[in-house]
Amino acid sequence: MSDEAANVPAAQKSGWTSFLKSLASFSGDLSGLTAPPFILSPTSLSEFPSYWGEPKDLFASIADGTTPEDRQLRVTRWFLATLSGQFTRREKETGSEKKPLNPFLGEQFLGSWDNGELVLTVEQVSHHPPITAYHLENKKRGIVFEGNCAQKTSFSARMISVKQVGHGILRIKLADGSTESYLVTLPKLKIEGLWTGKPYVELTETSYIQGSHGLTSTIKYSGAGWVTGTSHSHTTTVTTGPGGPTLYTITGTWTGESKFHKPSKDGKEGQLFLDAGEEGMREPVSVKPVEQQGEYESRRAWKAVADGIRSGDYNAASVAKGALENAERQKRKDEQASGQQFQLRLFDLRQNDPEYAHLAGLLKFKPEEEDSWILKA
């Protein structure tokens, strides 16, 4: 017997079938396509930058690096530790990947760790195209990670392909007062398992971490094939620059163990680099109770929708979601009619960011120019 749609609730199978048909016939970016309520996550995409902060101790430890090479490895270790939270946790908790709620323009997510030692600020800075800006800062350790992300999605060969657009820049204040920076590019991903109603994520192709000191980390992703391969695998090399001699090679899975491999300096071959599955490595972000949040904060704004999804009352979730989205559309119409332009509350646009251009130039990365959003002073 076919297992197609085997995991779809009986009451939702008709809607799921219609959704799959619309996917197959849709052309262009899928971001705005309406998904059946049962596959929706109760979490807005504006919360996703919190996954950067969850390995908080690894993030803080970057400042303990004593050399550029040491810090490059620490940034790489922190980055790999964020991936499991970003791309597989929801699959483990719910049995399948869920489609996050699309943030509305100006939506905010504010959180922290360790009683405010590490602080996260997020704002939806654009709706067409949808762009989320974020700022993660540990002032005590002198570390900031600031970036933006958007998604371009398409459907082919029974899977959804997602190109993450944007970048992050990590800055470290060094003991001599100078600042060292790292460009972090974003991996592409594919979402498979649609036909069984149990979507899951696999990362694909390559992402990079380029240090201002010239060192480069290249992370190549691979997954399980029909015959060979292991899900969520990566091979990471740290080199003296793009195409330069290899200093370290690290292999494993970004959901489990990664070890130094040949060639690696200092006799590190076989040593553990990271155990991404280690208990207690990641700590969820802390936020204010919903009743204390501002009107633009994500969990307050989406509360009725999230409550409906969690309780299985998909009709209530759909009604609440439609009401919020229609209200936001009306705001944009009113602004246009009055000649006003929406004003961001937390971030400022930096067009053709020169810091990005410098780091991208070291990496020989495209695009050579890209905008950034900087937290307001």
pLDDT tens readout for residues 316-366: 999 999 999 999 999 999 999 999 999 999 999 999 999 999 999 999 999
In a domain, 357, yes or no: yes
The pLDDT of residue 112 is above 60? yes
Give the domain CATH number at 91.
2.40.160.120
Are 46 and 94 contained in the same domain? Answer: yes
Q: Residue range 35-63: average pLDDT?
A: 92
pLDDT recorded at residue 24: 60
In a shared domain, residues 69 and 194: yes
Domain shared by 129 and 215, yes or no: yes
* Whole-number average pLDDT of the chain: 90
**Higher-confidence position of 351 and 32:** 351
* pLDDT average, residue stretch 174-201: 89
Q: Are 189 and 316 in a shared domain? A: no
d(CA 352, CA 344): 18
Q: How many domains does the chain have?
A: 2
- How far is Cα 293 from Cα 351, in angstroms, rounded to an integer? 31
Any idea what the CATH number is for the domain that residue 336 is in? 3.30.70.3490
Calculate mean pLDDT across residues 83-112. 84
Q: Is the pLDDT of residue 288 over 70?
A: yes
The verdict on residue 286 lying in a domain is no
Q: Are residues 142 and 259 in the same domain?
A: yes
CB pairs under 8 A, 24+ apart, for 175-179?
A: none
Residue 235 domain-assigned? yes
- Burial class (CB within 10 angstroms; exposed 0-12, middle 13-18, buried 19+) of 343: exposed
242 and 320, same domain (yes or no): no
pLDDT at 15: 62
Query: What is the domain extent for residue 248?
Result: 10-279+348-373
Non-local (6+) Cβ contacts of 214 within 8 A are 68, 240, 241, 362
For residues 376 and 348, the answer to whether their CB atoms sit within 8 Å is yes
Model confidence band, residue 22 (pLDDT cutoffs 50, 70, 90): low
pLDDT digits (tens, 9 = 90+) for 133-168: 999 999 999 999 999 999 988 877 678 889 999 999
Based on the fold, state whether residues 208 and 245 are members of the same structural domain.
Answer: yes
Considering the domain boundaries, does residue 47 fall inside one?
yes
Residue 6 has pLDDT above 80, yes or no: no
Same domain, 210 and 171: yes
Tell me if 70 is assigned to some domain.
yes
Say what the pLDDT of residue 4 is.
47
Residues 228 and 144 occupy one common structural domain: yes
Quick check: is 242 in a domain? yes
pLDDT of residue 3: 46
Q: Is 1 contained in some domain?
A: no
Collapsed DSSP state (helix, strand, coil) of residue 158: coil
Is the pLDDT reported for residue 61 higher than 80?
Answer: yes
Tell me, what's the pLDDT at 62?
99
Read off the pLDDT of each residue in 80-87 and give the average, rounded to a whole number.
94
Give the phi and the psi of residue 310 in degrees, each rounded to 5. Answer: -65, -35
Domain assignment of residue 330, yes or no: yes
Say whether both 107 and 182 belong to one domain.
yes
Pair (201, 299) in one structural domain: no
Are 201 and 315 part of one and the same domain? no
